Amino acid sequence: MKLKNDTLIRALLRQPTPYTPIWLMRQAGRYLPEYNQTRTRAGSFLALCKNPDLATEVTLQPLARYPLDAAIVFSDILTIPDAMGLGLYFADGEGPKFERPLRAEWEIRDLTAPDPTTHLRYVLDTVSQVRRALAGSVPLIGFSGSPFTLACYMVEGQASSDFAAVKSMLYQRPDLLHHILAVNTNAVIAYLNAQIEAGAQAVMIFDTWGGMLSHAAFREFSLAYTARVIAGLKHEHEGVRVPSIVFTKGGGGWLERIAAIGCDAVGLDWMVDIGEARTRIGARVALQGNLDPAVLLSTPEVIRRECGVILERYGRNNGHVFNLGHGISQHTPPENVATLIETVRGLSGDYH
Amino acid sequence: MKLKNDTLIRALLRQPTPYTPIWLMRQAGRYLPEYNQTRTRAGSFLALCKNPDLATEVTLQPLARYPLDAAIVFSDILTIPDAMGLGLYFADGEGPKFERPLRAEWEIRDLTAPDPTTHLRYVLDTVSQVRRALAGSVPLIGFSGSPFTLACYMVEGQASSDFAAVKSMLYQRPDLLHHILAVNTNAVIAYLNAQIEAGAQAVMIFDTWGGMLSHAAFREFSLAYTARVIAGLKHEHEGVRVPSIVFTKGGGGWLERIAAIGCDAVGLDWMVDIGEARTRIGARVALQGNLDPAVLLSTPEVIRRECGVILERYGRNNGHVFNLGHGISQHTPPENVATLIETVRGLSGDYH
């Protein structure tokens, strides 16, 4: 079935579009009252992720409210290590944690890439269901954490302010970290390709923690493996191109290198000027971003002004997907999201 | 009294030196057993900061162990808002907090810059005592938080993962944030100049949180005020130049702009390649940094290798002060610091 609205796909492939497409990282999330209701019904965040009916429901919620140009499958970046047996859980009011983080060398040597068609079946089922429900209205984005970002959680057991455990391993036992990263790379490739076969029409790799590495370590331990993922992806499914997006939070210093690994688009946080980014990178890839999520905590006037600046800085060029520079805040008033989307739709035509 | 070892001052002024000077951010800290003993005697971190005898003692401890090229006065970046009456405290195992963060508009309008010679006397007394105790062996560095970083804590009441309160103010009530920043700027100028008069021979401004701002907001709300601080500083005391260092963590994308505000040196975190930084900035300022503090959690071989890379990347140029890219980790084995300093001393002569 041909997409009715293929603006996102065209923009990711740097083709002409009538306006700048927009979707939001974490667009199905806690700022939406209907999301919170479904989550309560599910019992927990993780139960929601693992229930394809409910995950499909929340995936579609923001699209019922807003004229977004894409859906993104509702899931978590840590499904892979959970499927590896590390025991993902969410303590109340805290981020994700693992019951069994990687500690001993034998645990690391025993690690294997999970078969997505069994251990991650629930994600693939959600992808299929969402794809059917969308009925070609807008494309569906699949996603995964990057091999390095997964490794951070697998070694630390949770997010950290200094990532001392994973960095100690990086500097003292790089062989062990490389082993984890190689397994993760195979897992991410299999997982994203399975999502593509299940119906994902674009894929995004979230490298949430690559930005805390030194410039040299980033290349060796994060970017090299993301590049292997990109090389292993199906770039076409049923004769249709499946674009890939790579987002390294805090990676503004390395945009040229990220853009060179073969992905179709690079995500930008808000610390980067999107106009400067485009000049640095050239037209090799599309750019996605880069509004500070905190702008959505303000007023319609400020939202309009800040959107206008980003559109103007990107200018009359193909290949821009409007988005935030990070996930939407749970404190965002839903009406501000409406203002954002109206503004981008209203202003961006002038640049196309 | 002439300095016996003026390597740091000469490097900050981009003059020739026989080797690359080194000091470490937070060099008087919890990785040292003798520090922990003194802190226990003081009763708390804050009591230690506020007791000039004990603060002098811990300032000198790392210099008794290691041949460092500078002392930095033992204090906290949040002494100014504490002196403004916000009530700084440290909960066990947590970062700094304020009892009375700025909430109401009248509280913000009432804010005034404290007179450092009364409310921050204890810091100036520590500076004088340390300076006397050093007896010209190495220079003493004074410091302050940047106006914006102080404002972050003053508005949030503590560190935050997304700084939603200060960013909401930035986007919704920029007038209020500008008012806080103007008061902070006057406070920082008076405070640093008082430290210079009390004996500080170089000063450093820590912009710990500027890196989480958008590129445009960074210029307007952080860099513009740091520039005003630099312009207001005494650049000479008793006929001797007092160099200034500005460090924005996560500011790697903005180094050229930071280097242009009139400071003598720019601090680098470890996400930046110091060779690329030097190429971008040119010889306008000295550079300080940029070893990942996590390297000190590893082995002598790795420490030597990583130091060698930084020295080689900086190359045969004046104006490099070796340092970490952030404060030293409390988990650092003290013998690794000895290895680091020996290595920099041993290898850096070849580049001078």
ipTM for the predicted complex: 0.94
Asked if B153 is an active-site residue, the reply is yes
Q: Which chain B residue has its CA at the smallest distance from A163's CA?
A: B294
Q: Which chain B residue has its CA at the smallest distance from A326's CA?
A: B162
Structural domain boundaries, residue B180? 7-293+318-327
Smallest Cβ–Cβ distance between A271 and the set B164, B215, B295 belongs to B215
Asked if B110 is an active-site residue, the reply is no
Residue A324 lies in a domain: yes
pLDDT in tens, A11-28: 999 999 999 999 999 999
Q: Is B280 on the interface with A (CB under 8 A)?
A: no
Structure tokens at A64: 């019922």
Contact check, Cβ <8 Å, B162/A252: no
pLDDT in tens, A168-187: 999 999 999 999 999 999 99
pLDDT in tens, A128-184: 999 999 999 999 999 999 999 999 999 999 988 889 999 999 999 999 999 999 999
Residue A187 lies in a domain: yes
Given a cut of 90, whether residue B93 has pLDDT beyond it is no
For chains A and B, what is the number of CB pairs under 8 angstroms?
Answer: 95
Contacts of A213 in chain B (CB under 8 A): 271
Q: Which chain A residue has its CA at the smallest distance from B303's CA?
A: A171
- Name the nearest CA neighbour of A60 among A132, A143, A144: A132
Contacts of B222 in chain A (CB under 8 A): none
Average pLDDT over residues B133-153: 98
pLDDT in tens, B206-241: 999 999 999 999 999 999 999 999 999 999 999 999
Is the backbone peptide bond immediately before B184 cis, with ω within 30 degrees of 0? no
Contacts of A252 in chain B (CB under 8 A): 252-253
Task: Specify the pLDDT at position B161.
Answer: 84
Residues of A marked as catalytic: 26, 30, 39, 76, 153
pLDDT in tens, B263-308: 999 999 999 999 999 999 998 999 999 999 999 999 999 999 999 9
Contact check, Cβ <8 Å, A329/B294: no
Residue A2 lies in a domain: no
Q: Is B253 on the interface with A (CB under 8 A)?
A: yes
Residue A1 lies in a domain: no
Contacts of B297 in chain A (CB under 8 A): 164, 167-168, 171-172
Q: How confident is the model at residue B177 (pLDDT cuts 50, 70, 90)?
A: very high
Contact check, Cβ <8 Å, A215/B168: no
Residue A276 lies in a domain: yes
When the pLDDT of each residue in chain B is averaged and rounded to a whole number, the result is 96
Average pLDDT over residues A30-36: 98
pLDDT in tens, B25-56: 999 999 999 999 999 999 999 999 999 999 99
Task: Specify the pLDDT at position B104.
Answer: 95
Given a cut of 80, whether residue A62 has pLDDT beyond it is yes
Task: Specify the pLDDT at position B89.
Answer: 94
**Domains in chain A: how many in total?**
1
Residue A192 lies in a domain: yes
Structure tokens at A15: 């083709």
Q: Is A309 on the interface with B (CB under 8 A)?
A: yes
One-letter-per-residue 3-state SS of chain A: CCCCCCHHHHHHCCCCCCCCCECCCCCCCCCCHHHHHHHHHHCCHHHHHHCHHHHHHHHHHHHHHCCCCCEECCCCCCHHHHHHHHCEEECCCCCEEECCCCCCHHHHHHCCCCCHHHHCHHHHHHHHHHHHHHCCCCCEEEEEECHHHHHHHHHHCECCCCCHHHHHHHHHCHHHHHHHHHHHHHHHHHHHHHHHHHCCCEEEEEECCHHHCCHHHHHHHHHHHHHHHHHHCCCEECCEECCEEEEECCCHHHHHHHHCCCCCEEECCCCCCHHHHHHHHCCCCEEEEEECHHHHHCCHHHHHHHHHHHHHHHCCCCCEEEEECCCCCCCCCHHHHHHHHHHHHHHHHHHC
Interface of A with B in 222-251 (CB under 8 A): 250
Residue B346 lies in a domain: no
Smallest Cβ–Cβ distance between B172 and the set A271, A298, A306 belongs to A298
Strand-pairing partners, residue A290, are A323
Euclidean distance between CA atoms A59 and A219, whole angstroms? 34
Contact check, Cβ <8 Å, B271/A215: yes
Q: Is B29 on the interface with A (CB under 8 A)?
A: no
> CATH number of the domain that B123 lies in?
3.20.20.210
Given a cut of 90, whether residue A119 has pLDDT beyond it is yes
Residue B89 lies in a domain: yes
